Amino acid sequence: MKNLKILLFLLIPTFFYTQKIRVFVLAGQSNMNGFGYNKDLPNDLKTVKDVYIFQGNSVPDGEKNGGTGKWDVLKAGNGTGFKTDGKTNTLSDRFGLEITFAKRMKELFPNDKIALIKYAREGTSIDSLATGSFGC
C-alpha cells in the first residue's frame, strides 16, 4: 500500500504539471546515513528550493515497519538520529550527502523539482557471513 502511495505521489503530478520531477534513490549503510553536524553547514546549504525527501525508517532485518516514512521538504536533519513514524518526521542534528547532492542536482536541473528517496542502515556488515548480532 505504501509503495502505491509513493508511486501515485510521483506520477499524479505529471498529469497536471509540465515541470519535471527528477527522482534519485540514495541508499547505503552508515556513511549514507550522514554524520555531519547541522551547525557546521554553510548558510547556502541550509535549504535547497524545490527538493523533497522521503526517508524510510530503518529497522533491523526481519522487523516490521521498515521503510515507513513521510515526504517532506529537504532540510538539514536527515542524518543519523532521524526518526519517523510515517506521520511525523523528527529531524536530528546531523545531515548526510543529500544536502550537497540536492544542491548539485538543482544546479544541473534548475527548472525541475528533485525528489530524493533515502534509506540507510547503520551498524550493518557488507559481509553476510560476519559474526555478531549485526549484519546483512
41 in any annotated domain: yes
101 in any annotated domain: yes
Burial of 84 per CB tally in 10 Å (0-12, 13-18, 19+):
buried
Considering its fold, how many domains does the chain have in total? Answer: 1
Read off φ and ψ for residue 111, nearest 5 degrees: -95, 0
134 in any annotated domain: no
Identify whether the C-beta of residue 105 lies closer than 8 Å to the C-beta of residue 24. Answer: yes
The reported pLDDT for the residue numbered 101 is 97
pLDDT bin (cut points 50, 70, 90) of residue 17 is low
Residue 36 CA: distances (Å) to CA of 13, 24, 116, 135: 33, 21, 18, 24
Task: Select the highest-mean-pLDDT range: 18-32, 60-74, 77-91, 95-109.
Answer: 95-109
Task: Select the highest-mean-pLDDT range: 11-20, 61-70, 80-89.
Answer: 80-89
Give the whole-angstrom CA distance, residue 134 versus residue 127: 10
Whether residue 112 has pLDDT greater than 80 = yes
48 in any annotated domain: yes
Whether residue 7 has pLDDT greater than 90 = no
pLDDT higher at 32 or 53:
53
Point out which residues pair with 21 in neighbouring strands.
113
The reported pLDDT for the residue numbered 125 is 64
Point out which residues pair with 28 in neighbouring strands.
120
Whether residue 127 has pLDDT greater than 70 = no
Domain that holds residue 62: 2-120
Average pLDDT rounded to a whole number, residues 14-37: 84
The reported pLDDT for the residue numbered 131 is 55
132 in any annotated domain: no
